[in-house]
Amino acid sequence: MSKSTLLQRQTLTLLLMTISVSACATGVSGEASCSTGAYSNGKHSVVLYDATRDTGPRQTGYTFVDGRRGILGNATSELDCVSGSLIAGSAPPHKRIPLEERDVSFKSHGLALAGRLITPVREDGAIRPLAVFVHGSESTATVGRSRYPYLLAAQGVSVFVYDKRGTGQSEGSYTQDFQLLADDASAAFRTARKMAGASHDRIGFFGGSQGGWVAPLAATQTPADFLVVGFGLVLSPAEEDAEQVFDEMRRAGYGPADLAKARDITDATGEIVASHFANGIETLQTLKAKYHDEPWLGQIEGEFTGDVLNAPEEDLRAGHAGEFEDDNVAWRYDAMAVLQSLSIPQLWVLADSDRAAPGRLTQERLAELQQQGMPIITALFPNTDHGMVEFDIAADGSRRYTRFADGYFRLIADNMKGTVTPPYGKATLVAQAKE
Residues 38 and 153 in one domain: no
pLDDT value at residue 204: 98
Residues 264 and 115 in one domain: no
**Cβ-contact 293, 230 below 8 angstroms:** no
Can you point out the beta strands (E) in 14-141? 25-28, 37-40, 45-50, 60-64, 69-71, 80-82, 85-87, 95-96, 99-108, 111-120, 128-134
Among 138-142, 320-324, 372-376, the least confident range: 138-142
pLDDT value at residue 89: 86
Strand order in the sheet with 37-40: 69-71, 60-64, 45-50, 37-40, 95-96
Residue 25 has pLDDT above 50, yes or no: no
Q: If 0-12 CB within 10 Å is exposed, 13-18 middle and 19+ buried, where does residue 326 land? A: middle
Residue range of the domain that includes 61: 30-96
pLDDT, tens digit (0-9, with 9 covering 90-100), for 265-286: 999 999 999 999 999 999 999 9
**What average pLDDT is seen over the chain?**
89
Rounded to 10°, the helix 237-251/256-274 angle is: 150
pLDDT, tens digit (0-9, with 9 covering 90-100), for 293-321: 999 999 999 999 999 999 999 999 999 99
Residue 23 has pLDDT above 90, yes or no: no
Amino acid making up residue 378? T
Q: Which residue has the higher pLDDT, 84 or 222?
A: 222
Residue 1 has pLDDT above 70, yes or no: no
Residue after which a domain boundary falls, among 70, 96, 122: 96
Residues 247 and 356 in one domain: no
Tell me how far apart the alpha carbons of residues 112 and 117 are, in angstroms, rounded to a whole number.
16
Pick from 79, 69, 58: nearest CA to 11? 69
pLDDT value at residue 53: 66
**Cβ-contact 355, 385 below 8 angstroms:** yes
pLDDT, tens digit (0-9, with 9 covering 90-100), for 69-83: 998 888 889 898 888
Residue 381 has pLDDT above 80, yes or no: yes
Residues 289 and 303 in one domain: yes
pLDDT value at residue 7: 43
Query: Total domain count for the chain?
Result: 3
Among 1-15, 117-131, 274-288, the least confident range: 1-15
Can you point out the beta strands (E) in 142-274? 158-162, 200-208, 227-230
Q: If 0-12 CB within 10 Å is exposed, 13-18 middle and 19+ buried, where does residue 398 land? A: exposed
Amino acid making up residue 99? L
Q: Is residue 383 included in any domain, yes or no?
A: yes
Q: Decide: helix, strand or coil at residue 240.
A: helix
pLDDT value at residue 83: 85
Q: Is residue 301 included in any domain, yes or no?
A: yes
pLDDT value at residue 402: 95
CA atoms within 13 A on the CB side of 428: 7
Mean pLDDT of 38-44: 94
pTM of the predicted structure, to 2 decimals: 0.90
Residue after which a domain boundary falls, among 67, 96, 125: 96
Mean pLDDT of 411-432: 95
Residue 14 has pLDDT above 90, yes or no: no
Tell me how far apart the alpha carbons of residues 309 and 122 are, in angstroms, rounded to a whole number.
57
pLDDT value at residue 34: 85
pLDDT value at residue 40: 95
Residues 109 and 184 in one domain: yes
Give, in order, the Cα–Cα distances in Å from 316 to each of 38, 71, 247, 277, 301. Answer: 49, 44, 25, 6, 17
Give, in order, the Cα–Cα distances in Å from 402 to each of 208, 240, 349. Answer: 19, 26, 19
> Looking at residue 379, which CATH number applies to its domain?
3.40.50.1820
Residues 390 and 354 in one domain: yes
Q: Is residue 15 included in any domain, yes or no?
A: no
- Helices H / strands E in the chain, number of each: 12, 20
Give, in order, the Cα–Cα distances in Å from 147 to each of 5, 60, 345, 382. Answer: 22, 12, 24, 22
Residues 310 and 395 in one domain: no
pLDDT value at residue 76: 86
pLDDT, tens digit (0-9, with 9 covering 90-100), for 192-221: 999 998 888 899 999 999 999 999 999 999
Residue 31 has pLDDT above 50, yes or no: no
Residues 114 and 83 in one domain: no
Residues 227 and 342 in one domain: yes
Q: How many CB atoms lie within 10 A of CB 83?
A: 9
Q: Which residue has the higher pLDDT, 50 or 192?
A: 192
Q: Is residue 77 included in any domain, yes or no?
A: yes
pLDDT value at residue 50: 72
pLDDT value at residue 372: 94
Tell me how far apart the alpha carbons of residues 223 and 427 are, in angstroms, rounded to a whole number.
30
Q: Is residue 39 included in any domain, yes or no?
A: yes
Residue after which a domain boundary falls, among 286, 317, 348: 317
Residues 125 and 178 in one domain: yes
Residues 302 and 342 in one domain: no
Residue 404 has pLDDT above 50, yes or no: yes
pLDDT value at residue 49: 81
Residues 145 and 228 in one domain: yes
Q: Is residue 350 included in any domain, yes or no?
A: yes
Amino acid making up residue 304? F
